[in-house]
Amino acid sequence: MSADLPLLIYLHGFNSSPQSLKVRLLQDALSKLGHAERLYAPQLPHSPAQALALIEQRMAQEVVPPVLIGSSLGGYYATALAEKHGLKALLINPAVAPSRWVSDYLGEQRNYHSGETWQLTQDFVDEINALQCPPPCAGQRYQVWLQTQDETLDYRDAVAYYRGCALRVEPGGEHGFRHFAAHIPALLAFAGWPPSVWQNPANPSQLR
């Protein structure tokens, strides 16, 4: 049964990691359901091109098409992959045209979780530019979750870019997407996981 469930591939944001709160909440939820192995949330390489190559290597191991989950810059990566491979993607406060701002961060960077330092160079900007896609036209393959008080990105950019997709715009919130745990059932439903896997009428809060 587990192998029939689409693999969830999580792409984290800029200077983030698999230790982010959303990943940990998702890992905990899937562990409770007995399907922790159906989440792939790697530490992405600093190179955008290498990050996508890593994800494509993992995708090639799957018989059932995986579902992409991308947060912030990971949402930008997920869009590029979804358009290239015709996959479903759920995007959480995704970055749109990040080359407009990433050049401001050239130089030394520090990972929020590990403390690792690395150098952001013009090569990173060039690779980001190479991934830019037109606005998705197969909007049924996307869900885009936005919160209006995102302190890092202007949610209106994503509303405009993903206007042909299913948008969920919540007032308030933050860039990390507040109350993410409460949205996990909707995430699994979008991913095509049957309700029998994640829905327990006797305990509707089991994933929260």
Q: What CATH number has the domain bearing residue 27?
A: 3.40.50.1820
Is the separation of the CB atoms in 198 and 185 below 8 Å?
A: yes
pLDDT surpassing 70 at residue 105: yes
d(CA 95, CA 153): 7
pLDDT band of residue 100 (cuts 50, 70, 90) is: confident
pTM above 0.85, yes or no: yes
pLDDT band of residue 141 (cuts 50, 70, 90) is: very high
Q: Is the residue at 205 inside a domain?
A: no
Tokens found for residue 37: 């192995």
Q: Is the residue at 8 inside a domain?
A: yes
- Mean pLDDT of all residues in the chain? 93
Q: Is the residue at 28 inside a domain?
A: yes
Q: Is the residue at 21 inside a domain?
A: yes
d(CA 184, CA 174): 17
Q: What is the pLDDT of residue 38?
A: 97
pLDDT band of residue 203 (cuts 50, 70, 90) is: very low
Q: Is the residue at 203 inside a domain?
A: no
pLDDT band of residue 45 (cuts 50, 70, 90) is: very high
Q: What is the pLDDT of residue 204?
A: 42
d(CA 129, CA 48): 10
Q: What is the pLDDT of residue 206?
A: 54
What pLDDT, in 10s, does the model give residues 4-16? 899 999 999 999 9
pLDDT band of residue 175 (cuts 50, 70, 90) is: very high
Q: What is the pLDDT of residue 1?
A: 53
Q: Is the residue at 208 inside a domain?
A: no
Q: Is the residue at 65 inside a domain?
A: yes
More confident residue, 186 or 1: 186
Q: Is 143 exposed, middle or buried (0-12, 13-18, 19+ CB in 10 A)?
A: buried
Q: Give the range of the structural domain holding residue 103, as residue numbers without chain letter.
A: 2-198
Q: What is the pLDDT of residue 78?
A: 98
Tokens found for residue 186: 């909707």
Is the separation of the CB atoms in 187 and 69 below 8 Å?
A: yes
Q: What is the pLDDT of residue 201?
A: 44
Q: What is the pLDDT of residue 207?
A: 58
Q: What is the pLDDT of residue 102?
A: 87
Q: Is the residue at 27 inside a domain?
A: yes
Structural domains in the chain (count)? 1
pLDDT surpassing 80 at residue 155: yes
